[in-house]
Structure 1
Amino acid sequence: MNQEQKSYISLINHTRKETIRIKKTGWEEINLPGHTHERCQIIYTLSGTLHVQIGATNYFVPEKHIAWIPSYMGHELSSNNRRTSLVIFYLSLDACEDGTPLNEFSIYHADSFIAENLKFIASKGREINREDAPDLYAFALGFFRLLPTICQNMEFLLKTLAIPNDARLHPILAYLQEHLQENPKMPQLAEHFGFSVRNLSRLFNESGIRFSYYVNNLRIMRAIELFADGGKTMQQIAYEVGFSTPNNFNRVFRQITGMSPHNFVKND
């Protein structure tokens, strides 16, 4: 972590409780090593996609979605898109009596109503203080408290990649990510890494990874990243992530996300 990142995290931790701090990133690469802070963090992916690493699990946040990161939760942020633009809100939230899950990591879809309210709040500068703007502060705080109840929780890609305890799988999973277009199969992987098919299958099973499901998740996640980058047709993206036909791509995309690629992009 560089000095600028450390200084900003320190600034967040020393921000008064009754202040909402707002940070906007430009079109830039995102790579923030593991850290924690004392404020709840709400990230809106204005453009591009985001990976949030929490412990041994990597969560995927598509474009026009929200990552809800509770206070004191260790995490790291990264993106595979060429450029990513984020709007980030840091605030203190006390527990709700109605059981709203404010202390759980969540990913939400931001429809047009949610997006316009986020943009409105973000347009008010780098911070909103209760003392200086009580009405605006009350509105923003109330809106953020309501987010978990008015947003659509995105369960399908919530938990995408788990880091297995067995280190022998680490290079294999990295290889899968880098060679999706080649449509890697278990026999080819086993031969490439010096395993028998039986032993490699057992290695995946013992780590709780279903091979075909894992590969398809990688493909769909990469396709969504390519949607955000733009400049390619659905057919080009289908082939680039390893599907033999656009129909197969559409079928698997619908199985994982619950909607067609076209509707997913339109929904964003």
Structure 2
Amino acid sequence: MNGEQKSYIATINSSQPEEIFIKKTGWEEIVLPAHAHNKEQIIYTLSGTLRVQIGNTNYFVPEKHIAWIPAGVEHELCSHNRLVSLVIFYLSFEEADVMNGFSIYNTTSVIAENLKFIASKGKLIRRDTQADLFQFTLSFFKLLPSMSPVREILLKTLVIPDDQRLVPVLHYITEHCGENLKIETVAKYFGFSVRNLSRLFFRSNIRFSLYLNYQRVTRAIELLADREKTLSEIAYEVGFSTPNNFNRVFRQITGMSPGQFVKMKNE
């Protein structure tokens, strides 16, 4: 974390509940080690994707989605995209209004327009000088959960297994998902028999093929956000033998084809 980032976090943590901060990132790399804020942090992925690490769990936030990080929750942020642009809101609620737990929301045209409107008002909204705008912003974010359903897919990209011997195995699968991975080759690499590794997966309620496909589709969504490759190129890069296989698995996991996903996020 550089000096500017540390200074901004310190500013947020020393601010008053009657202040709402708005930060826009440029087209830049996002790498922030573990930190926390005393305000709710709401991140809109305007361009690119984001990974949020909370405790032992890594969450994936696709492009044009919203991540809500509760106040006081330690987290890390990073992106595997070449460039990423975010709009981040920091605000405080009365205790009874605070969100419960980390959440990821999809955006609609109405939500996007309201986010754009609020973000256009500068870097700081104060209750004493902009009372109406301040109250509107709080009310909008209170209503956000009812305006957009929580995304149930592609949230947790790193499963925490019951058996710690699987942790490096899952990291390896994530890092090498674009290769022609088979459970036999992974077992040999880590010195397991196929039977023993299969048993470890079974006991942790993880399916090797499903976990691998989740990592591949997650990586595909990151590549789609970079807008540098065709769907066929992405299919091969993330490890699928044919574009048809890519389309089938992508639809199984996301509920839509890659083409439909691209169209949705561009609307």
TM-score tier after normalising by the smaller chain length? over 0.9
Local SS of the residue matching 1:239? helix
- 1:63-142 mapped onto 2 (5 Å cutoff): 63-96=63-96, 102-142=99-139
Deviations 1:187-206, CA, capped at 9 Å, x for gaps: 01111222110111122233
What residue is the counterpart of 1:51 in the other structure? Answer: 51
Is residue 185 of structure 1 aligned with residue 202 of structure 2? Answer: no
Deviations 1:31-65, CA, capped at 9 Å, x for gaps: 11111111000000011000011111111000000
Local SS of the residue matching 1:108? strand
- 1:219-258 mapped onto 2 (5 Å cutoff): 219-258=216-255
Q: Distance in 2 between matches of 1:4 and 1:209?
A: 41
Q: Distance in 1 between matches of 2:165 and 2:17?
A: 45
Give the conservation status (yes or no) of the 8 Å contact 2:158–2:170: no
Q: What's the TM-score, normalizing by structure 1?
A: 0.93
Is residue 201 of structure 1 aligned with residue 191 of structure 2? Answer: no
One-letter amino acid of the structure 2 residue matched with residue 5 of structure 1 = Q
- Structure 1: segments with no counterpart, 5+ residues: none
Deviations 1:171-227, CA, capped at 9 Å, x for gaps: 322322232222201001111222110111122233342211110110110000000
Q: CA deviation at 1:166?
A: 4.5
Q: Distance in 2 between matches of 1:194 and 1:214?
A: 20
Is residue 264 of structure 1 aligned with residue 261 of structure 2? Answer: yes
One-letter amino acid of the structure 1 residue matched with residue 68 of structure 2 = W
Q: Distance in 2 between matches of 1:247 and 1:128?
A: 49
Local SS of the residue matching 1:87? strand
Which stretch of the first structure deviates more once superposed, 156-165 or 117-126? 156-165
Is residue 28 of structure 1 aligned with residue 25 of structure 2? Answer: no
One-letter amino acid of the structure 2 residue matched with residue 30 of structure 1 = I
Q: Distance in 2 between matches of 1:266 and 1:111?
A: 13
Local SS of the residue matching 2:156? coil
RMSD over aligned CA atoms reads 1.6
Deviations 1:56-103, CA, capped at 9 Å, x for gaps: 111100000000111111111111000111100000022557xxx712
Q: Distance in 2 between matches of 1:52 and 1:207?
A: 23
Which stretch of the first structure deviates more once superposed, 215-224 or 192-201? 192-201
Which stretch of the first structure deviates more once superposed, 64-73 or 111-120? 111-120
Give the conservation status (yes or no) of the 8 Å contact 1:71–1:103: no
Report % sequence identity: 65
One-letter amino acid of the structure 2 residue matched with residue 105 of structure 1 = F
Q: Distance in 2 between matches of 1:262 and 1:165?
A: 36
Local SS of the residue matching 1:256? helix
**CA 104–205 in structure 1, closer or farther in 2 if over 3 Å, else same:** same
Q: Distance in 2 between matches of 1:53 and 1:178?
A: 16
Local SS of the residue matching 1:181? coil
One-letter amino acid of the structure 2 residue matched with residue 90 of structure 1 = Y
